Structure 1
Amino acid sequence: MSASTPTPEALLRRMEMTVLRRLDGLLHGDYHTLFRGIGIDLADLREYQYQDDVRHIDWNVTARMQTPYVKEFHEERELTAWFLLDLSGSEDFGSQQVSKRMQAIYLTAVLASVLNRHGNRFGAVLYGAGKDSVLTTRNGRQQILRLLHGMHGCKPPDPATSGSRAGTRLHQLLETAAGVARRRSLVFLISDFISEPGWERPLAALTHRHDVIAIRLYDPLEMSLPDLGLLTIQDAETAEQILVDTHDAGFRSRFVAAVGEREERLRESFAEAGVDVLEISTEDDIVDALYRFSDLRKHASRLATGGSAQPWRAS
């Protein structure tokens, strides 16, 4: 990846020649592990087993038999996928060559291309330019290009010149998605989750109807500050500036503690919503991250089975 983002056409050509072949080789037969979908036709009932999704428990049969039973469904040959893309101002941050926005574009291009190669339809809801933009579900190479062009064109207003001081309202993206994703779908929510409060409940509601994968993007510099002396830090979404002394060990310690508290709140929110979470850094290789996630998703228990929420980091 270079510091400048290539055009959608150039990016797609490069991925078709290199990245997608590599991903296919890594996944082998695990495509349905990463992109699993659940059919709408009830196939059978069976006793609950460890790692089953408790959302599929048939409570009427369970009460009658005095032991948990789960519903089994016919797997759909084709699934519908939605990309919920947070393209707000904070996504422009990147301490090295790759920003969170660039990582989101590359990641979306890879996922959409793999979905398309298996004949699946996908759409998107883009948040970031003041009004959500909806790309209806289709398949085909042109649909990938429409999606990538939409991401390139979805630029939030500059708060320093526009006068806008609003932060990200992630709940708006989720509420829009709930209105457009009518049939049960695979949903990729790609965001850094730097947002005003209130997104947790809409995410939980979305998870009740869809198979949701939350992909959280972050930059290592957001987790800990090195000793760089006096720095002026600006909020990308409000243009608010603050002068900090990173040479102060006490300040760096308080920063790490605040990050730890935020990480714990995020884990709790994801656990309550019952979503699978993949965390990807701006320094991570996307193909390796997806392969690791596929392997972990195959073997790890669902959050809803009673385990604690442990987001899966790519590194």
Structure 2
Amino acid sequence: MEANELLRKVRKIDIKTRGLSQNIFAGEYHTAFKGRGMTFSEVREYQYGDDVRDIDWNVTARHNHPYVKVYEEERELTVMLLVDVSRSRLFGAVGEEKREMIAEIAATLAYSAITNNDKIGVIFFSDKIEKFIPPKKGKKHILLIIRELLDFTPENQGTDISVALRYFTDALKKRCTTFLISDFIDTHDFTRQLQIACNRHDVIAIQVYDKRDTSLPDVGLMRMTDLETGASRWINTSSKRTRQAYSKWWYERQQSMSDTFSKCRVDHASIATDEDFAHSLMALFKNRGVR
């Protein structure tokens, strides 16, 4: 991508996603993603209804009057984005390319994290770990992430989510809030690694898909190519049986993915490339906030 075009796209996503995170998501994000615990804030005079277990006996003895310790939520989180950069993300038939939608979602989540004083880091993966950006704060860090989201070129083309989850679990020992963003077109079974990751971290899955992924159009003979393997074949899309078989494959694949997330207790959202992702993220945040 040319430098001027990249800067223009970075600026466009910067403006859009910063506005979304500050004006729409700020409160929902804060409610949905909790801090690690409670930290001491101050002492004040005892009031009726206070828990006697919070009495600060040293201060009480000095003032000859009961005082209690006041705690507040320790808000700062570490947020990690696990972003699929396999070749299938370049597909775009309805709406924008998956790559562009993934970049916008990831940038919005990153801004939401920074707005709430959280650290944000990224792992780019294909069927191997392509790049690791350690968690940090700050506007410069956000712009670096957006630039990489738009212009990163992976070495490999395939997808192996289990590799990303294994690396993430090994690399980050402290509990993180983690967004796994992918189209989830993956022939590997990542259930075990997802379970391991969920035992230590809070994992949320976001699927980005193109509606043309879900069904075949009736357009006669069509050459279909797997973007990740390069394999291609001719398909007779005028055959009702062929179209039904493809739709069945997609449904069963989606059901298997959903079952995996339910088994691992992972909140998830599926977002089409022609949809407004803000609505889906808001619904996801709200569902987590009421629990």
User: Shorter chain as normaliser: what TM range?
Assistant: 0.7 to 0.9
Who wins on radius of gyration, i.e. which is larger? 2
1:204: which partner in 2?
Answer: 195
> 1:195-221, CA deviations, whole angstroms, 9 ceiling, x for partnerless residues?
132311111111111111101111111
Q: 1:121 aligns with which of 104, 115, 119?
A: 119
Residues 1:296 and 2:276 are matched in the alignment: no
> 1:179-202, CA deviations, whole angstroms, 9 ceiling, x for partnerless residues?
122211110100111113231111
Alignment gaps of 5+ in structure 1: 44-72, 160-166, 302-315
Q: Secondary structure at the match of 2:73?
A: coil
Contact 1:82 1:181 in 2 (8 A): no
Q: CA deviation at 1:153?
A: 4.0
Q: 1:269 aligns with which of 249, 257, 260?
A: 260
2:219: which partner in 1?
Answer: 228
Residues 1:218 and 2:215 are matched in the alignment: no
Q: 2: CA distance between counterparts of 1:128 and 1:154?
A: 12
Q: Secondary structure at the match of 2:74?
A: coil
Residues 1:39 and 2:13 are matched in the alignment: no
Residues 1:278 and 2:269 are matched in the alignment: yes
Amino acid at match of 2:88: S
> 1:228-249, CA deviations, whole angstroms, 9 ceiling, x for partnerless residues?
1111000001000010011111
Amino acid at match of 1:32: H
Residues 1:191 and 2:189 are matched in the alignment: no
Q: 2:139 aligns with which of 118, 141, 150?
A: 141
Q: 2: CA distance between counterparts of 1:8 and 1:180?
A: 30
1:70: which partner in 2?
Answer: none
Q: Secondary structure at the match of 2:270?
A: strand
Q: Secondary structure at the match of 1:217?
A: strand
Q: 1: CA distance between counterparts of 2:192 and 2:153?
A: 27
Q: 1: CA distance between counterparts of 2:261 and 2:156?
A: 30
2:51: which partner in 1?
Answer: none
Q: CA deviation at 1:99?
A: 1.1
1:99: which partner in 2?
Answer: 97
Q: CA deviation at 1:33?
A: 3.0
Q: Secondary structure at the match of 1:132?
A: strand
Q: Secondary structure at the match of 2:181?
A: strand
Contact 2:25 2:112 in 1 (8 A): no
Q: Secondary structure at the match of 1:196?
A: coil
Q: 1: CA distance between counterparts of 2:15 and 2:129?
A: 35
Q: 2: CA distance between counterparts of 1:206 and 1:42?
A: 26
Q: Secondary structure at the match of 1:78?
A: coil
Amino acid at match of 2:268: V
Q: CA deviation at 1:26?
A: 3.2
Q: CA deviation at 1:15?
A: 4.7
Q: 1:84 aligns with which of 76, 79, 82?
A: 82
Q: 1:18 to 1:124 in 2, by over 3 A?
A: closer
Contact 1:232 1:242 in 2 (8 A): yes
Contact 1:129 1:155 in 2 (8 A): no
Percent identical: 27
Q: CA deviation at 1:298?
A: 2.9
1:54: which partner in 2?
Answer: none
Contact 2:119 2:135 in 1 (8 A): yes
Contact 1:19 1:287 in 2 (8 A): no
Q: 1: CA distance between counterparts of 2:234 and 2:31?
A: 47
TM-score w.r.t. structure 2 length? 0.80
1:287: which partner in 2?
Answer: 278
Q: CA deviation at 1:223?
A: 0.9
Alignment gaps of 5+ in structure 2: 41-70
Q: 1:288 to 1:7 in 2, by over 3 A?
A: farther
Q: Secondary structure at the match of 1:29?
A: helix
Q: 2: CA distance between counterparts of 1:228 and 1:176?
A: 43
Q: 2: CA distance between counterparts of 1:202 and 1:116?
A: 28
1:251: which partner in 2?
Answer: 242
